[in-house]
Amino acid sequence: MALLNVLCYPDPRLHKVAKPVAQVDARIKKIVADMAETMYEAPGVGLAATQVDIHERIVVIDVSDNQNELMVFINPEIVWSSSEKKSWREGCLSVPEYYDEVERPAQVRVKAIGIDGKEFELEADGLLAVCIQHELDHLQGKVFVEYLSILKRNRISLKMKKRAKELVGQR
């Protein structure tokens, strides 16, 4: 396994739209294993392939307290979302050290293919519902800060660019 480099907002590659996975083969399994390792190392509760510059429809999520319940979503699609909405304070490995409120449907039903190549459906609420929607947005090239005002977004872009420069300076 290997740790993957996570792209940081406002990297334009975060806006690429991911393509469907044709087959869950050894290459895809290796990507999933590396993505899981990268997510746990961060640590984070979710990671989309887009964030590691792989533009295929793959998401890993683990919202368990002990970070030992990995969920893999290949070619995920939201097939239903509730009309009830909920606001949640979100963060993202691609927008380090920034958190803000985003309103989304409180419940979703998602259809996807698992690491075993089999299709499954899952209904989610709470943090898992937030996480699924957040990660699926990434596959469409959308970062959560795009739900915020343009003013906030510009401020975040400046902050992230400044942060990247400081990190380069430390090397």
> Is the distance from CB of 123 to CB of 105 less than 8 angstroms?
no
Min CB(9)–Ni ion separation in Å: 9
> Is the distance from CB of 21 to CB of 57 less than 8 angstroms?
yes
For 45, 46, 113, the CA distances from 68, given in Å and listed in that order, are 11, 13, 20
**Residue whose C-beta lies closest to Ni ion:** 92
Q: How many residues bind Ni ion (CB under 5 A)?
A: 1
Min CB(99)–Ni ion separation in Å: 11
Using CA atoms of 132, 137, 140, 146 in order, give the dihedral in degrees to the nearest 10.
-170
What are the residue numbers of the active site? 135
User: Closer CB to Ni ion, residue 44 or residue 112?
Assistant: 44
Per rule CB under 5 A, is residue 7 in the interface with Ni ion?
Answer: no
Angle formed at CA 159 by CA 157 and CA 165, multiple of 5 degrees:
100
Of the candidate spans 8-16, 70-78, 87-95, 158-166, the one that interacts with Ni ion by CB under 5 A turns out to be 87-95
Min CB(87)–Ni ion separation in Å: 17
Query: How far apart, in whole angstroms, are the C-alpha atoms of residue 101 and residue 30?
Result: 34
User: Closer CB to Ni ion, residue 22 or residue 74?
Assistant: 74
User: Closer CB to Ni ion, residue 43 or residue 117?
Assistant: 43
Please identify which residue in 92, 106, 112, 131 interacts with Ni ion, judged by CB under 5 A.
92
Query: How far apart, in whole angstroms, are the C-alpha atoms of residue 87 and residue 35?
Result: 27
The binding site for Ni ion (CB under 5 A) comprises 92
